[in-house]
C-alpha cells in the first residue's frame, strides 16, 4: 500500500496541508514569507504536490520547487521550521509515528530544491 493510501488519501493530505499553513501563517519565522500569497491556490498546489510525492496520483501543475521558492531566499532555519510545523501537525492529527517519519523523510529530502543556494 502506498504511503498515500496508508495516510488516508487525498482528504487526509488536504487536511494536513490546511493545518500546516494555518500554523505557518501564524509563525513569526516563516509567516512573513507568505505575505501577499494567494493561499487558496497555494493550499491546493501544495496538496497536489504532496499527494504525488507520497505515491498518489500525479495532479500537480504548479511550478518546480526551485522556481517556486527562488525569490523567497528560504534559509535552512525556515526550512527546518516548516518541517517542524509539519511534524507537529502530523502528530496532532494522530498519524502513526512511523508513517509520519516517512512523510517527513520525503519532505526533508526536498531541502536542496527549496533552500536558496548562496
| 99 in contact with ligand HEM (CB under 6 A) | no
List 14, 42, 104, 116, residue binding ligand HEM (CB under 6 A) = 42
Those residues with Cβ within 8 angstroms of residue 88's Cβ, 6 or more apart along the chain or in another chain: 23
**C-alpha to C-alpha distances, 42 to 6, 7, 94, 97, nearest whole angstrom:** 24, 21, 24, 26
Total residues found in the chain within this entry: 118
Question: Nearest distance from residue 35's CB to ligand HEM, in Å?
Answer: 8
Question: Nearest distance from residue 7's CB to ligand HEM, in Å?
Answer: 15
Sketch the per residue contact string, 9 through 28, with ligand HEM: x for CB under 6 A, - otherwise.
Answer: --------------------
Amino acid at each position: 500500500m502506498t504511503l498515500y493510501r496508508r495516510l488516508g488519501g487525498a482528504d487526509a493530505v488536504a487536511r494536513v496541508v490546511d493545518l500546516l499553513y494555518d500554523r505557518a501563517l501564524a509563525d513569526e519565522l516563516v509567516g512573513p514569507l507568505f505575505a501577499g500569497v494567494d493561499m487558496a491556490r497555494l493550499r491546493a498546489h501544495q496538496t497536489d504536490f504532496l499527494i504525488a510525492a507520497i505515491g498518489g496520483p500525479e495532479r500537480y501543475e504548479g511550478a518546480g520547487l526551485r522556481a517556486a521558492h527562488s525569490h523567497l531566499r528560504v534559509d535552512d532555519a525556515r526550512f527546518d521550521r516548516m518541517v517542524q510545523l509539519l511534524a507537529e501537525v502530523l502528530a496532532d492529527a494522530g498519524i502513526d509515528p512511523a508513517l509520519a517519519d516517512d512523510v517527513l523523510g520525503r519532505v526533508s529530502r526536498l531541502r536542496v530544491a527549496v533552500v536558496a543556494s548562496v
